[in-house]
């Protein structure tokens, strides 16, 4: 009897999660959910009625589905059910954002560089959160999502020893924010979080299997499959920036030699560019010059393509993936880089005769705080978030 009760409870949680996911991703009617999930209309009605009563869903205006017959009524997440805080910690700046329950970014603010002192930077973030909470949006605070460069211990909420992030070693980010604000806190690698956000709200509907590559002050990655994110045994499954592209290259702070990040991250390719075209000090300036036909700028872009294609080709050989989505500073005028990168990727590696690799910029733009807050929203939809009672 106990097992039957547990199985029924688990099945109900699974079905509720399934309904919420379809509504979040597409916004659909009860009949459409039944068709897509295989659940009976009676079961859908019970779940939807519960969610409406709880204030989690809204049932909107009818939508025409043809010239004759009844019109379906659209369901959507209630943006005022909860709100979520997203914190992004990078090598350059800490950013705080606040979203509603649909993931719409309502407010955002930036803090000073976290490079010197974790204690000081976290105090600034705490103060910014308290300022936000003085005039909160409708609903309850569902949780706080935190993203940072890896490596991380997501289960314990620890920022371990990220390269080039000063003294931010073994920082208990999860415990810090839980203690300060008494809500669930989820910690994730920034690249992985961006990949998950793309899967939920971006090009993931069109490309259910893709490799996400973040190229800005560092390089990270995330591999998305129809089943979800690939995490690996310890959560380090897609640290693509710390794969070697030069076996006798310089020693990286991660302990490896010749890491792709040492060559292809934006600061490092700009350092290389200073010896070629010293008047072009930023990535946008370099890309603009290459697009205008400056040979020296084009040579630097070609060098970046060489580095990135070597790194990504290694991943393609292991993962057999043909869609690559890019995030970060590298997406500026991505049409300048993309054809060269696609040509290089499709000219090398096993399977290139039958597998055509395509590269795209993220459809989400540079919204790190959205990706952080999305961790909490995804956990709620997956029924993996323990709600703190009032």
Q: How far is CA 52 from CA 46, 48, 58, 143, 387, in A?
A: 10, 6, 6, 21, 18
DSSP 8-state secondary structure symbol assigned to residue 387:
P
CATH topology classification for 203-361: Nucleotidyltransferase; domain 5 (3.30.420)
Nearest CA-CA partner of 165 in 147, 177, 179: 147
pLDDT of residue 84: 97
pLDDT of the residue at 115 = 52
- Specify the CATH number of the domain 2-77: 1.10.10.10
Cβ neighbours of 92 (radius 10 Å): 14
Question: Tens-of-pLDDT digits for all 390 residues of the chain?
Answer: 445 554 778 888 889 999 998 898 877 888 898 888 888 989 999 999 999 999 999 987 555 444 444 556 789 999 999 999 999 988 768 899 999 999 999 999 987 654 557 888 899 999 999 999 999 999 999 999 999 887 888 888 888 887 767 788 888 999 999 999 999 999 998 889 999 999 888 888 888 899 999 999 889 898 988 887 787 666 666 789 999 999 999 998 888 999 999 999 999 999 999 999 999 999 999 999 999 999 999 999 999 999 999 999 999 988 889 999 999 999 999 999 999 999 999 987 555 566 799 999 998 865 889 999 999 999 999 887 766 555
pLDDT for position 249: 93
Domain 82-191+368-381: give its CATH code: 3.30.420.40
Contact 264, 307 (CB under 8 A): yes
Q: Which residues of 330-358 are buried (b: 16+ CB within 10 A; e: fewer)?
A: bbbeeebbbebbbebbbeeeeeeeeeebe
Q: Which two three-digit tokens encode residue 86?
A: 């997203």
Closest CA to 215 of 103, 312, 145: 312
Tokens of 192: 């992985």
Which residues make up the CATH 3.30.420.40 domain(s) of the chain? 82-191+368-381, 203-361
Query: In 3D, which of 225, 313, 222, 227 has the Cα closest to residue 264?
Result: 313
What CA–CA distance (Å, rounded) separates 329 from 104? 22
Note whether 64 and 71 are within 8 A (CB).
Answer: yes
**Confidence (pLDDT) at 69:** 47
Neighbours of 282 (CB within 10 A): 13
Specify the pLDDT at position 61: 56
Q: How far apart are CA 35 and CA 29, in angstroms?
A: 10
In the chain, residues under CATH classification 1.10.10.10 are 2-77
For the chain, give the number of residues: 390
Q: What are residue 28's DSSP bridge partners?
A: none
pTM for this prediction: 0.86
At 229 the pLDDT is 79
**Phi, psi for residue 146 in degrees, rounded to 5:** -125, 130
Which pairs with CB-CB distance under 8 Å and at least 24 residues apart come from 98-104?
98/132, 98/137, 98/373, 99/369, 99/370, 99/373, 99/374, 99/377, 100/137, 100/139, 101/56, 101/77, 101/139, 101/142, 101/377, 102/24, 102/76, 102/77, 103/201, 103/370, 103/373, 103/374, 103/377, 104/79
Tell me what pLDDT residue 72 has. Answer: 63
Residue 62 has what pLDDT?
52
Residue with tokens 């390269």: 163
Predicted pLDDT at 233:
63
Q: How far apart are CA 110 and CA 122, in angstroms?
A: 12
Tell me the DSSP string of 351-371: TTTT---EEEE-SS-S-HHHH
């Amino acid at each position: 009897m106990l097992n039957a009760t547990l199985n029924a409870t688990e099945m109900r949680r699974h079905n509720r999660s399934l309904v919420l996911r379809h509504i979040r991703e597409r916004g659909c009617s009860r009949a459409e959910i039944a068709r897509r999930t295989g659940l009976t209309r009676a079961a859908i009605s019970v779940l939807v009625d519960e969610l409406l009563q709880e204030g989690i869903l809204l049932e909107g205006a009818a939508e025409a589905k043809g010239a004759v017959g009844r019109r379906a009524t659209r369901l959507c997440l209630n943006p005022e059910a909860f709100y979520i805080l997203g914190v992004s910690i990078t090598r350059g700046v800490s950013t705080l954002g606040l979203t509603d329950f649909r993931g719409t970014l309502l407010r955002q603010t930036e803090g000073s560089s976290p490079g010197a002192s974790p204690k000081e930077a976290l105090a600034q973030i705490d103060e910014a959160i308290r300022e936000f909470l003085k005039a909160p949006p409708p609903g309850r605070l569902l949780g706080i999502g935190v993203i940072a460069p890896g490596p991380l211990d997501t289960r314990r909420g620890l920022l371990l020893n990220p390269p080039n992030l000063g003294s931010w070693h073994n920082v208990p980010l999860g415990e810090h924010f839980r203690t300060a604000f008494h809500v669930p806190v989820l910690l994730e690698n920034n690249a992985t979080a961006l990949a998950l956000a793309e899967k939920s709200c971006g090009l993931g509907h069109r490309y259910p299997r893709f490799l996400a590559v973040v190229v800005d002050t560092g390089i990270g990655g995330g591999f998305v499959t129809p089943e979800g994110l690939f995490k690996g045994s310890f959560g380090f499954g897609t640290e693509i920036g710390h794969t070697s592209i030069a076996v006798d290259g310089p020693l990286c702070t991660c302990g490896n030699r010749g890491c792709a990040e040492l060559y292809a991250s934006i600061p490092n390719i700009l350092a290389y560019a200073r010896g070629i075209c010293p008047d072009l000090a930023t990535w946008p300036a370099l890309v603009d010059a290459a697009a205008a036909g400056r040979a020296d700028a084009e040579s630097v872009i070609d060098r970046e393509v060489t580095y990135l294609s070597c790194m990504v080709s290694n991943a393609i050989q292991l993962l057999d993936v043909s869609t690559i989505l890019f995030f970060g500073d590298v997406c500026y005028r991505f049409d300048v880089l993309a054809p060269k990168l696609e040509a290089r990727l499709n000219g090398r590696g096993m399977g290139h005769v039958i597998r055509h690799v395509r590269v795209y910029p993220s459809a989400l733009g540079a919204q790190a705080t959205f990706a952080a807050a999305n961790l909490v929203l995804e956990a709620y939809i997956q029924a993996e978030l323990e709600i703190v009672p009032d």
